[in-house]
A and B are shown apart, each in its own frame.
Chain A
Amino acid sequence: MNLKSLSPAGPNGWVMVITLVALVLVPPYTVLANEPFFLDLVMRAVILSIAAVSLNLVLGYGGMISFGHAAYLGIGAYCVGIPGYYGIYDGVFQLLLVVAVCGVFALVTGLVCLRTRGVYFIMITLAFAQMVFYAMVSLDEYGGDDGLVIYERSRFPLGGAIGDSITLYYVCLAVLVATLLLVHRIVNSRFGLVIRGTAGNDARLQSLGLPTFRYRLICYVIAGIMCGIAGWLLGNFTLFISPEMMNWIRSGELIFMVVLGGAGSLFGPVLGTGAFITLEEFLSGFTVYWQLYFGIFLVLVVLFGRGGLHGFIEWLFRRRS
């Protein structure tokens, strides 16, 4: 492996490098400017970016429009909350739990969902996510509707802990970078070529002799586990879990972040999440009816913004050169 394949290519590659460098510099800035709230805002964006990047793997590259991706976010967070309820704060144990639970959930639901296409796939992924949502609402032991407070962040062996916000922030950023690297390698690999091909013409790939169902199922499981890890970070960040985290509205927001940033582009979902959270923050400070304006904006983007922010940046630079 040489470094060239990992270096940024084109304007979007540079946008990625500049954004990531800026994200590294956020904590010093918030300390110097004494704006801890800003760190929280960016941290939320980074965590949701990981979820969006994982959704993009199935939605953008694989053409599988999952409307239940927030379920993994919730499951990941509950993997911090429920062990915490029993006094277990071991991060290694929690992460193994995330991988196991999200992996099995994605495998079992994927076996059913991936037999359907188009709008049926959307509805059935939504249905499975709602099942988890209502299961958590009905579990009074773990707070039910009201949720559960987490008293401590995850601990790691050898005295490692993510006690303060800045440490947690850098952990989140590291996970984001690792997720981007992994997705980049996956979509360009032989496996990824099959995944991108199934999005375009699944029947053709089957007639070439590729059992596409298996490939799509594995892709679905990988994305589910990635999003579960984002949920684990979210639980550590909010120190509170509730079924609201896996509400279908959150699944819809994740889809929008991916589409806004550019489905099927590596860094697009991160830009989309950033834009989404910035707008949400800006508009809600501006007017109490912000959701109305937000809704109008969403409609306009879907109608006219093909390729999302990623496509927009490419178009901008192609025009200049």
Chain B
Amino acid sequence: MPPVAVAAAQIATLPAGRDTDMLLEVIDLYKAFGGVVATNHVSLEVREGEVHAVIGPNGAGKTTLVSQLTGELRPDGGRVRLAGRTITRMPTHRRARLGVARSFQITSVVNNLSVLENVLLAVQAHAGHNFRFWRPALRCRDLVDAAHASLQRVGLGELADRSAADLSHGEHRQLEIAMATATQPRLLLLDEPMAGMGREETVRMVDILNTIRGGPGILLIEHDMDAVFALADRISVLVNGAVIACDTPDAIRNNAQVKAAYLGED
């Protein structure tokens, strides 16, 4: 066989995960709590700039999956790779330094600080070298400007000086997005960003996410089907910890198995 053909054959036999634009690869991930299997040999991938949605009924193991991607939980088996680099057992803060950012299903902001300070922490985390003990943080122009820009992007520019504790639920979720994007992540893990939101707030959040898309790869976990079908390039369906389907929104909409397991319930 001529050398070129050998190379071609090798490429053909390589796993799909070796594509150069592959950002996140989850390979055969497994996690059990006692007898309950929360993540059952899950494999999925997020390409650069892609919005990949994960849907599934309550208790399907969506948040458990995200927690293993961020490093808050250790998987029992399988691998997680970010841009070709294995990060399965890397601690949370180091993954974050590599560009993994998340928003939380249950709003998680720092309530004893101002809105601006919350985002400033995210900017600082990205900038590194924070062992500065003397100069006031609010006087570091470049950091403060970046934080303001991030707040403007999610429409919270006016509320920068308010205490984070005083924000409404929808504003908290917007702040979450501002913090997650302020670190200039390569991979954004959004855990139900629309949870508990009214119709109007959901529409605003879809708009905000649409302005972000195309930048970082996004893994979107969401219950709101209108939002999912409006945003996702691809959808994986998770039921009882296992992926039962992964396809384009149109194909998922017409997938009989998915309808039976999930969409039919609505």
Interface residues of A, Cβ cutoff 8 Å to B: 1, 5, 185-186, 188-194, 196-197, 199-201, 203-212, 215, 218
Residues of chain A within 8 A (CB-CB) of B92 are 206-207
**Distance in Å: Cβ of A193 to nearest Cβ of chain B:** 5
- B112 near A208 with CB under 8 A, answer no
Cα–Cα, bound, A207→B93 (Å): 6
**Distance in Å: Cβ of A3 to nearest Cβ of chain B:** 13
Residues of chain B within 8 A (CB-CB) of A191 are 130-133
- B130 near A210 with CB under 8 A, answer yes
With A210-B121, A218-B131 in contact, do A188 and B136 touch (Cβ < 8 Å)?
Answer: yes
The yes or no answer to B72 lying at the interface (CB within 8 A) is yes
The yes or no answer to B109 lying at the interface (CB within 8 A) is yes
Can you list 19 contacts pairing A with B, beta carbon distance less than 8 Å? A1-B135, A5-B136, A186-B134, A190-B124, A190-B140, A193-B121, A193-B124, A193-B137, A196-B117, A204-B104, A204-B108, A204-B179, A208-B101, A208-B125, A209-B125, A209-B126, A210-B124, A210-B125, A210-B130
B96-146 interface (Cβ within 8 A of A)? 96-97, 101-102, 104, 108-113, 117, 120-122, 124-126, 130-140, 143
With A188-B136, A190-B137, A201-B108 in contact, do A209 and B97 touch (Cβ < 8 Å)?
Answer: yes
Cα–Cα, bound, A197→B134 (Å): 17
The yes or no answer to B174 lying at the interface (CB within 8 A) is no
Nearest first, the 5 closest Cβ-Cβ pairs linking A and B are A209-B96, A200-B112, A200-B110, A209-B125, A208-B125
With A185-B133, A189-B132, A208-B125 in contact, do A196 and B112 touch (Cβ < 8 Å)?
Answer: yes
Cα–Cα, bound, A193→B111 (Å): 13
Cα–Cα, bound, A5→B136 (Å): 9
Cα–Cα, bound, A203→B70 (Å): 11
Cα–Cα, bound, A199→B121 (Å): 13
Residues of chain A within 8 A (CB-CB) of B70 are 207
Interface size counted on chain B using CB atoms at 8 A:
38
Cα–Cα, bound, A126→B122 (Å): 34
**Interface core residue of B112, B139, B179 (most chain A CB under 10 Å):** B112
With A209-B97, A210-B125 in contact, do A201 and B134 touch (Cβ < 8 Å)?
Answer: no
- A189 near B111 with CB under 8 A, answer no
The yes or no answer to B236 lying at the interface (CB within 8 A) is no
Interface residues as binary, B74-105 with A (CB distance below 8 Å gives 1, 0 otherwise): 00000000000000000011111100011010
- A197 near B110 with CB under 8 A, answer yes
Q: Among the listed A186, A194, A203, which residue makes an inter-chain contact with B124, where contact means beta carbons less than 8 Å apart? A: A194
- B121 near A189 with CB under 8 A, answer no
- A207 near B133 with CB under 8 A, answer no
- A208 near B137 with CB under 8 A, answer no
With A204-B108, A205-B110, A208-B179 in contact, do A186 and B133 touch (Cβ < 8 Å)?
Answer: yes
The yes or no answer to B183 lying at the interface (CB within 8 A) is yes
Q: Among the listed B101, B113, B143, which residue makes an inter-chain contact with A197, where contact means beta carbons less than 8 Å apart? A: B113
In the complex, the number of residue pairs spanning A and B with C-beta atoms less than 8 Å apart equals 101
Cα–Cα, bound, A282→B17 (Å): 76
Cα–Cα, bound, A188→B223 (Å): 40
Q: Among the listed A186, A193, A207, A209, which residue makes an inter-chain contact with B117, where contact means beta carbons less than 8 Å apart? A: A193
Cα–Cα, bound, A207→B125 (Å): 10
Residues of chain A within 8 A (CB-CB) of B111 are 200-201
**Distance in Å: Cβ of A310 to nearest Cβ of chain B:** 15
With A206-B92, A207-B70 in contact, do A185 and B110 touch (Cβ < 8 Å)?
Answer: no
**Interface core residue of B72, B108, B110, B126 (most chain A CB under 10 Å):** B110
Q: Among the listed B101, B109, B122, B126, which residue makes an inter-chain contact with A201, where contact means beta carbons less than 8 Å apart? A: B109
With A189-B136, A196-B113, A208-B183 in contact, do A203 and B108 touch (Cβ < 8 Å)?
Answer: yes
- A204 near B133 with CB under 8 A, answer no
**Distance in Å: Cβ of B62 to nearest Cβ of chain A:** 17
Q: Which residue of A lies closest to B102 (CB)?
A: A207
Q: Which residue of B lies closest to A219 (CB)?
A: B133
**Interface core residue of A5, A190, A204 (most chain B CB under 10 Å):** A190
Q: Among the listed A185, A208, A212, which residue makes an inter-chain contact with B122, where contact means beta carbons less than 8 Å apart? A: A208
Q: Which residue of A lies closest to B131 (CB)?
A: A191
Cα–Cα, bound, A192→B93 (Å): 18
- A205 near B131 with CB under 8 A, answer no
Q: Which residue of B lies closest to A201 (CB)?
A: B110
Residues of chain B within 8 A (CB-CB) of A204 are 104, 108-110, 179
**Distance in Å: Cβ of A211 to nearest Cβ of chain B:** 5
- B93 near A211 with CB under 8 A, answer yes
Cα–Cα, bound, A204→B108 (Å): 7
Cα–Cα, bound, A23→B239 (Å): 69
Residues of chain A within 8 A (CB-CB) of B133 are 185-186, 189, 191-192
- B135 near A194 with CB under 8 A, answer no
Q: Which residue of B lies closest to A222 (CB)?
A: B133
With A207-B92, A208-B179 in contact, do A188 and B112 touch (Cβ < 8 Å)?
Answer: no
Cα–Cα, bound, A171→B263 (Å): 74
Residues of chain A within 8 A (CB-CB) of B93 are 206-212
**Distance in Å: Cβ of A178 to nearest Cβ of chain B:** 13
Cα–Cα, bound, A281→B207 (Å): 64
Cα–Cα, bound, A208→B110 (Å): 12
- A188 near B130 with CB under 8 A, answer no
Cα–Cα, bound, A1→B136 (Å): 10
Cα–Cα, bound, A142→B252 (Å): 79
**Distance in Å: Cβ of B119 to nearest Cβ of chain A:** 10
Residues of chain B within 8 A (CB-CB) of A211 are 93
Q: Among the listed A185, A208, A218, which residue makes an inter-chain contact with B121, where contact means beta carbons less than 8 Å apart? A: A208
